[in-house]
Amino acid sequence: MKRILNKETPQYPDQEVKVAGWVNTRRDHGKIVFIDLRDRTGLLQIVCQPDLVKDVKEEYVLEIEGLIKKRPGNTAKKEMATGEVELQARQVKILAKSAALPFNFIEKDLSLTLPILLDHRPLMIRNPEVKNIFKIGESITESFRKTLKSLDFTEFQSPNIVPLVAEGGADVFHIDYYKYDAYLSQSPQVYKQIMLGAFERVFTITHVYRAEPSVTTRHISEFTSLDAEMAFIDSWKDLMDTCEVIIRNMFADLKLLKVDVPELGREIPRIKMREAQKIILERTGRNNLKEPDLSPEDEQEICLWSKEKYGSDMIFITHYPTLKRPFYTHEDPLDPDYTLSFDVLYRGLEIVTGGQRINDYDKLIKNIKKWGNKIETFSFYLQAFKYGMPPEGGFAFGLERITKQVLNLKNIREASPFPRDMERIDNKLKKGPSTRLRVKKK
């Protein structure tokens, strides 16, 4: 008999079926045992004779054959997708046993701290709420891809081993690369821009790395970047328009998963960073008018303002200072101390960053020198501009940050299945000689 999924069982009343899954709960009622069996589609109530499931405990993996019966009217459970039926077990096969559980991972135990939950990630991933986080992450990624494909963008594979540090200097991981030095990519920027020469519109879904020297709730060392770049733009506003299309589609898709999505109003407001600082001063009395960036506190405040004034949980902040953006960022021709750059803030957190790039070769050369770097260092990258590059720009969405905000998670670590930070890779890190494994059998 072919296994069917739990969610399919209501289609088989009074029929013999085979199901398989994990024992979510077991309740002994004298001559009868109730098991809630969990598979990837949800729960199903199993009714068993005790001798069929004598040694069976929670998280045992079972394959069960039996008869699907409608539950008596008063015992049906409306809140369960299979709540109208139950399986009367005829035969039970144990596919795998489980050790005693360290804690109840199904019900939320508020005494468990995040580090303990992460230590037990391979078990916690089975918790329906935790599992759902990664379904949401998958949906966000798919939606990003779907929108860009519909706009004729080409997806490519951007490398993670890079020869240079494109974004930041200190916060980079060094790799022992044969006899040479290499680094983990902080951004696919260089490669996106190069690929424009063939495809005009490209995107890549890639991992990027930041050796963040501090532990915060919004930074992890390896995260997923949804990165796009487009050429032949008429204006840098095309970039924000495209972002907004992506965001609206993303939330339309999430709505189908019954996620409580943010309000965006008629359009996501766009204001300059300096304007934002003035608004913050007026609202709070905090005078940050001379600061080159918004503080986390400011980011919170300006989102509150956006919500109140425009009914939008998101806002574009534009025109960051030239001094604070990478060398390839396009200056505002009307005010060269500021750039044609933007961030999208979502309930106080930056989830997108983007802008127009310098496409003029001579200007790029000048800027590399102005930033104090050598031209030779960028010779590979510079070819893309030396041989003709149209006006272009791009942006990057941080997957785990969007997931965190959509689900109101407290810590970004919850939004990554296997978060890495300065204290953790899978387990909490310990000092001492590293473990080199034997590969072949002794």
Which residues, 165 to 204, sit near a second copy by CB under 8 A? 165-169, 173-182, 184, 191, 194-195, 197-201
Q: How far is the CB of 14 from a second copy (least distance, A)?
A: 25
Q: According to CB under 8 A, which one of 83, 361, 407, 409 is a site residue for a second copy? A: 361
Q: How far is the CB of 422 from a second copy (least distance, A)?
A: 5
Nearer Cβ to a second copy, position 165 or 409?
165
By CB under 8 A, what part of segment 248-277 binds a second copy? none
Q: According to CB under 8 A, which one of 45, 141, 143, 312 is a site residue for a second copy? A: 141
Q: According to CB under 8 A, which one of 207, 272, 274, 307 is a site residue for a second copy? A: 207
Strands 341-346 and 349-356: antiparallel
Q: Does 137 bind a second copy (CB under 8 A)?
A: yes
Q: How far apart are CA 313 and CA 39, in angstroms?
A: 36
Which is nearest to 223 in space by CA: 141, 124, 118, 329?
Answer: 141
Q: How far is the CB of 276 from a second copy (least distance, A)?
A: 22
Q: According to CB under 8 A, which one of 26, 69, 126, 248 is a site residue for a second copy? A: 126
CA-angle at 310, arms to 309 and 313, nearest 5°: 105
Task: State residue 276 phi and psi, 5-degree precision.
Answer: -60, -45
Q: Does 16 bind a second copy (CB under 8 A)?
A: no
Q: Does 434 bind a second copy (CB under 8 A)?
A: yes
**Which residues face 65 on adjacent strands?**
18, 91
Q: How far is the CB of 129 from a second copy (least distance, A)?
A: 11
Q: How far is the CB of 383 from a second copy (least distance, A)?
A: 4
Nearer Cβ to a second copy, position 237 or 307?
237
Q: How far is the CB of 294 from a second copy (least distance, A)?
A: 18
Q: Does 340 bind a second copy (CB under 8 A)?
A: no
Strands 392-398 and 180-184: unpaired
Nearer Cβ to a second copy, position 70 or 108?
108
Q: How far apart are CA 424 and CA 426, in angstroms?
A: 6
Q: Assess contact for 276 and 303: CB atoms under 8 A.
A: no
Q: Assess contact for 309 and 275: CB atoms under 8 A.
A: no
Q: How far apart are CA 351 and CA 415, in angstroms?
A: 13
Q: Say which residues have a Cβ less than 8 Å from residue 247's Cβ, sequence separation at least 6.
A: 264, 268, 314, 344, 352
Q: Say which residues have a Cβ less than 8 Å from residue 45's Cβ, sequence separation at least 6.
A: 34, 35, 36, 37, 71, 77, 80, 82, 85, 86, 87
Q: How far apart are CA 108 and CA 57, in angstroms?
A: 20
Q: How far apart are CA 57 and CA 59, in angstroms?
A: 6
Q: How far is the CB of 258 from a second copy (least distance, A)?
A: 17
Which range touches a second copy (CB under 8 A), out of 106-114, 253-261, 298-306, 318-326?
318-326
Q: Does 286 bind a second copy (CB under 8 A)?
A: no
By CB under 8 A, what part of segment 36-55 binds a second copy? 39-40
Q: How far is the CB of 183 from a second copy (least distance, A)?
A: 8
Q: According to CB under 8 A, which one of 29, 78, 374, 410 is a site residue for a second copy? A: 374
Name the token pair of 99. 């050790």
Which is nearest to 52 in space by CA: 75, 31, 82?
Answer: 31
Q: Does 336 bind a second copy (CB under 8 A)?
A: no
Q: Does 20 bind a second copy (CB under 8 A)?
A: yes
> Which amino acid appears at position 286 of this protein?
R
Q: Does 122 bind a second copy (CB under 8 A)?
A: yes
Q: Number of residues in contact with a second copy, rule: CB under 8 A?
A: 120
Q: Does 386 bind a second copy (CB under 8 A)?
A: yes
Q: According to CB under 8 A, which one of 24, 312, 322, 405 is a site residue for a second copy? A: 322
